Each structure stands twice: as C-alpha cells, then as structure tokens.
Amino acid sequence: MIGSELKAPRAGMSDWERRIDDYGRLALRVRTAEMLGLPARVCGMRNCRRKRSCGFAFIATRLPVCSTMLTEEQRKAHDELLDFAGRVYEAAHSGHFGNLYRLLLQNPPEYHRSVIEIVRHALPPRRRLDAIRRIEAQRLVGTI
C-alpha cells in the first residue's frame, strides 16, 4: 500500500521532475510559488502570509499548500513557469550549459529574470551558477 502511494504522484510528473531529486522538486515548487506571491495572496496558512514565503508543503505530493488554492487559470500560469524553471534547473544542476542557453533563447525573455531567480535560490548550497551570471551579463549588454 505504501509503495503504491509513493509511486502514484510520479505517474503525473514531467520529464524534468523524474530526473531531479526530491530537494530540487520541492525547492522549485516553493520558490515558484513565492515568485508569484502566492504565500501572501492565497495561502490559508497564517505564517506563510505573514512571512510572505512558503512554510508548508504536503509530504506525499511535495506541493506547497498555497499552490493547491489556485484557480484553473492561475494553475496554468503557475505550471508553465514551474515547467520552464524546472528545465533550467535541470540544465544548471547537471552542468549542461549549452542546454541552458538553448532553453533561454527558445523561451520569451520576460520569463528569464524570474526563472533565473527561482533557479538560483532552488539550487543546492555552493552550486556555481557561472553560466547564469554570464547570461544575465549578456542580457544587460543586449546581446541576448
């Protein structure tokens, strides 16, 4: 029973979610919710609203509590940003910086700053983000 319950959430996961660890998935979901301001706006947990950061997540699904309180339209926007952030996280975590550049060039530039911030705060401690820093510098100069 317990084994099947743990495998059930994996069935609906995207490719990047299957390839990264639990820490990465939870950190990405929490940081994405915080980037969208969900803890302060829709979360039912008082501590999350006060701190404006996610403090509670469901253990089985690794979803922040506030992300379950979204409307269908809000859920779609949240999932789109989370998917983009997850693919960038996977490329940055694995060290495939060519994939990282391709991902950022394929997607709209209005997402870049928020996704870079989500990924930077979701990566494990002491993880170097030289490629992301180079991308930001190129964007400031105007070459991207």
> What are the structural domain ranges in the chain?
2-141
- Give the pLDDT score at 105: 78
- Give the pLDDT score at 39: 79
- Give the pLDDT score at 17: 67
- Give the pLDDT score at 132: 65
123: three-class secondary structure by DSSP: coil
C-alpha span between 54 and 34 (Å, rounded): 7
57: three-class secondary structure by DSSP: strand
- Give the pLDDT score at 5: 37
- Give the pLDDT score at 134: 67
- Give the pLDDT score at 3: 41
- Give the pLDDT score at 53: 81
Q: What is the DSSP letter of 64?
A: B
Instruction: Give every residue of the chain whose pLDDT is below 70, as ranges.
Output: 1-14, 17-18, 96, 125-136, 139, 142-144
